[in-house]
């Protein structure tokens, strides 16, 4: 029997913002939503009809259980969530407005996930019937013990023959613990992986190779494909196990006007998605996770067409910009409708 289950692993967060476009220093009320990169991918996959299990550690409190219930209501299997620790990790988000950039403030030290250690999660049981295991660089940035727990999961997934998917998700403000070495740690994780996603800024940081400029203000921008091809070839030489690389690119024309595209390097071939012009961005948080969730689902529905896999991922990510909160709640039909609208199918 072929494997179908997808497992994602990371920290579930509680996101706080002020209503509307208020700054964090204004007003008396906070709105809250659950989120976090790997949880976002899980919800995206479940909404598109995939069998997905999310692994994390949450406090055994009403707040922790509410987070798991929120994911379960959206179709994610949370039966293997580990409970323990003192608190849930949080972050505070102030949206962009006009010339004012968005702001993110993390409060994750001492969370239930921060104290996660190797041996706590029964990975062999969880991954035995798993087709894809998804994790990101954030899991290693929280604490040294969480990084060790991530390496444990990667090594067991590799031993069991699971396809490993990785999102660079480099967040420089998170690497606070003593002895943290983000580039070395993430490079070591990548060497164990089969598929990788990241935005162009993260690719540049990882490789120390300056990216060709993406300054599109509309869909007519011409990409420097020769330069991108040379860059991907360099990356593959550095990480030969990785046969599939997807790079998302966004240009912020204004706070609510973005352009979005992506490239897919797959076993020596470089594919380009069209540029989508998004003039009415509502919430850009989680767009990279929407790319990843779209990609994993597209592999199933367009198994023999890499270009459609790329285009579907782009359409999923574009739709996320229209949805408040971290989660991409777009169905397969809605995403394919966008593909038809933009001649992506």
- Average pLDDT, stretch 78-99? 96
Q: Would the CATH topology of 1-193 be identical to that of 197-345?
A: yes
Cα dihedral sign, 189-191-192-194: positive
Are 166 and 190 within 8 A, CB to CB? yes
Instruction: Please state whether 5 falls in left (phi above 0), alpha (psi between -120 and 50) or beta.
Output: beta
Q: Is 166 helix (H, G, I), strand (E, B) or coil?
A: strand
On the question of pLDDT at 1 being above 60, the answer is no
Cα dihedral sign, 73-77-83-86: negative
Q: How far apart are CA 290 and CA 311, in angstroms?
A: 12
Q: In the CATH hierarchy, which fold is given to the domain comprising 1-193?
A: 3.40.1190
DSSP 245-261: EEEEEEEEEETTEEEEE
Domain ranges of the chain: 1-193, 197-345
> Residue 267: which pLDDT band, with cuts at 50, 70 and 90?
confident
- Average pLDDT, stretch 153-165? 98
What pLDDT digit, counting tens, does each position of 207-263 carry? 999 999 999 999 999 999 999 999 999 999 999 999 999 999 999 999 999 999 999
pTM over the 0.95 mark = yes
Q: How far apart are CA 197 and CA 313, in angstroms?
A: 11
Q: Is 222 helix (H, G, I), strand (E, B) or coil?
A: coil
Q: Is 65 helix (H, G, I), strand (E, B) or coil?
A: helix
Instruction: Please state, for a pLDDT cut of 70, what percent of the chain lies above it.
Output: 99
Summary mean pLDDT of the chain: 96
Q: How far apart are CA 245 and CA 263, in angstroms?
A: 8
On the question of pLDDT at 311 being above 50, the answer is yes
Q: How far apart are CA 106 and CA 342, in angstroms?
A: 36
Q: Report the alpha-carbon angle 169-65-113, nearest 5.
A: 35
On the question of pLDDT at 293 being above 70, the answer is yes
On the question of pLDDT at 2 being above 80, the answer is no
> Can you read off the two tokens belonging to residue 96?
């962009």
Which region among 9-18, 78-87, 92-101, 106-115 has the lowest average model confidence (pLDDT)?
A: 92-101
Q: Is 148 helix (H, G, I), strand (E, B) or coil?
A: helix
What pLDDT digit, counting tens, does each position of 46-56 carry? 999 999 999 99
Q: How far apart are CA 333 and CA 340, in angstroms?
A: 11
Q: Which residue is associated with the tokens 């595209």?
A: 261
Q: What is the pLDDT of residue 78?
A: 98
Residues written for the chain: 345
Residues 197-345, CATH architecture:
3-Layer(aba) Sandwich (3.40)
DSSP 193-208: -SEEEEEHHHHHHHHT
What pLDDT digit, counting tens, does each position of 222-234 carry? 999 999 999 999 9
């Amino acid at each position: 029997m072929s494997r179908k289950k997808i497992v994602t692993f990371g920290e579930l967060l509680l996101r706080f913002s002020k209503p509307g476009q208020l700054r964090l220093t204004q007003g008396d009320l906070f709105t809250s939503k659950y989120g976090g990169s790997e949880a976002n991918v899980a919800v995206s996959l479940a909404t598109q009809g995939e069998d997905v299990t999310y692994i994390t550690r949450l406090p055994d409190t009403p707040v922790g259980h509410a987070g798991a219930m929120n994911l379960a209501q959206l179709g994610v299997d949370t039966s293997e969530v580990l409970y323990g620790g003192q608190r849930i990790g949080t972050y505070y988000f102030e949206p962009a407005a006009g010339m004012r950039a968005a702001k993110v403030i993390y409060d994750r030290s001492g969370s239930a996930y921060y104290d996660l250690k190797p041996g706590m999660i029964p990975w062999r049981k969880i991954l035995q019937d798993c087709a894809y295991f998804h994790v990101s660089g954030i899991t290693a940035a929280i604490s040294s013990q969480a990084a060790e727990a991530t390496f444990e999961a990667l090594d067991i997934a590799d031993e069991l023959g699971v396809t490993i998917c990785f999102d660079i998700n480099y967040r420089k403000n998170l690497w606070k613990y003593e002895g943290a070495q983000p580039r070395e740690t993430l490079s070591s994780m990548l060497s164990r992986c089969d598929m990788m996603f990241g935005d162009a800024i993260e690719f540049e940081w990882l490789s120390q190779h300056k990216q060709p400029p993406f300054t599109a203000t509309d869909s007519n921008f011409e990409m420097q494909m020769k330069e991108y091809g040379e860059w991907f070839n360099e990356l593959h030489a550095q990480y030969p196990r990785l046969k599939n690389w997807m790079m998302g690119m966004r240009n912020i024309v204004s706070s609510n006007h973005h352009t979005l595209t992506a490239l897919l390097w797959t076993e020596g071939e470089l594919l380009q998605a069209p540029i989508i012009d998004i003039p009415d961005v509502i919430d850009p948080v989680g767009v990279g996770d929407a790319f990843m969730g779209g990609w994993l689902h597209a592999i199933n529905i367009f198994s023999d067409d890499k270009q459609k896999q790329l285009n579907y991922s782009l359409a999923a990510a574009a739709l996320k910009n229209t949805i408040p909160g971290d989660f991409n709640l777009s169905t397969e039909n809605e995403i394919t409708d966008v593909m038809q609208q933009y001649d992506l199918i």
